[in-house]
Homo-oligomer: A and B are copies of this chain.
Amino acid sequence: MPSVFSSPNPILFGRGAAAVVGDKLREFGCSRVLVVYDKGVEAAGVAATILGHLHAAHIQTVCFDGVLPDPPDTTVDQAGALGVAEGVDGIVGVGGGSSLDTAKGACLLLTNPGPIGRYYARPDAPPPAGLQPLKPIVVIPTTSGTGSEATPGGVITDTQNHRKQIIICPVSLAIVDPELTVGLPSAITAATAFDALCHAAEALTSAAPNAFGRVLGKEAITLISRALPLAYDDGGDIEAREQLQLAATLAAMSILGPFCHIPHELGQPLGSLFGIPHGLACAATLAESMRFVAPGVPEQVRLVAECMGPALSPGATADQVGQAAYGRIYDLRERVELPSLASFVPDKQQLLAAVPHICQVSPFVFSPVAVRPSDVTTILEQAYAGRVESAVAP
């Protein structure tokens, strides 16, 4: 199957890059923008930093600080309505994936009638036709995970149907500044980095393999494996912060062709149902998912494992390769003290009761191995039990 490479978001990456946000918006013709973020970004002082850069460039700002995790459609509608009422001519999203995706939704609604539910798309389909041209939007990530800065996609929670939906909003410019992540608490650093690790590992093992995604995903996994422990131990390690920011962006670019599979397709409903932060919900089944798909794509799972540690024996069987990837993912989980699935879902039966819903909302189209409901049950049971050493040595 041919590989497609199209990475439509221009990206400005580097320490201190955020200082040019006002100048860039002026180049785009903006003079009054809606700045979209959440209370955490505000408390960390990052919103004030960005507002300062905007005001220094004489850009007027209207603030929407009501972003919520797993951004609900209703919040997006509010942000869009505020932008319309205030007559803004551009959008700036600052924060994690929720802030960036809320900003993308609000951008659609600046020039197109709401509610946002009109604009849900499929990840592998072109954007809905007949859209009015969009206003400029600049996105500025403050975590190293989401990757929303590198893709036109956004994920919105459809609150009526309790499921995630995709919106498509091309980004005028992403500004990826590692200095903005220095204050990120270690637990959030770990959870968001595991989201990026999932993106790259899923890209490498997708049923729609992509030659470009492979190059980008390999580098992302290598960087995360090396830099995450350093940034976890010392949030001020700017070298490690820079590597994680680059890795998150590369990981998102890597998934633009192959799309996500099992860990994200389990993680999204698990996150919604049990209130698990997105990165942790996706990470919850990453080790088990890699082991599960190893018989189908052993060379790809080997690549994931070898980006996380030494080369495996050339003669390793698919099972051994899967076990090695599983072990290395658990090593990294434990190194950064990632909370277990059981810490979010006290009752295992409650978890397993979700399987029919999960199988309804997650088609597993991009899994390289067919996923039956019984497989979902097995993967969730294994993830719930946590690390179990196998007798199979890689």
Contact = CB atoms under 8 A, between A and B. Distances in A.
Interface of A: 1-8, 10-17, 211-212, 215-216, 219, 246, 249-250
A17 B211 CA distance: 13
Given A7-B5, A14-B1, A215 B219 contact: yes
B250 A215 contact: yes
Copies of this chain in its oligomeric complex: 2
Nearest to A215: B219
B7 A14 contact: no
28 contacts: A2-B12, A2-B13, A2-B14, A2-B16, A2-B17, A3-B11, A3-B12, A3-B13, A4-B10, A4-B11, A4-B12, A4-B13, A5-B7, A5-B10, A5-B11, A5-B13, A5-B249, A6-B10, A6-B11, A7-B7, A8-B8, A11-B212, A13-B211, A14-B211, A211-B246, A215-B215, A215-B216, A215-B250
Nearest to A245: B211
Contacts of A6: 10-11
Interface of A, secondary structure class, is mixed
A129 to B, nearest CB: 13
A250 B6 CA distance: 13
A11 B13 CA distance: 23
Nearest to A242: B211
A12 B2 CA distance: 6
Contacts of A211: 13-14, 246
Nearest to A7: B7
A84 B216 CA distance: 41
A273 to B, nearest CB: 36
A4 B250 CA distance: 13
A14 B5 contact: no
Nearest to A219: B215
A16 B5 CA distance: 16
Nearest to A177: B2
Contacts of A3: 11-14
A14 B211 CA distance: 9
A50 to B, nearest CB: 16
Contacts of A4: 10-13
Nearest to A14: B2
Most chain B CB inside 10 Å of its own CB: which residue of A2, A10, A11, A16 = A2
A11 B12 CA distance: 21
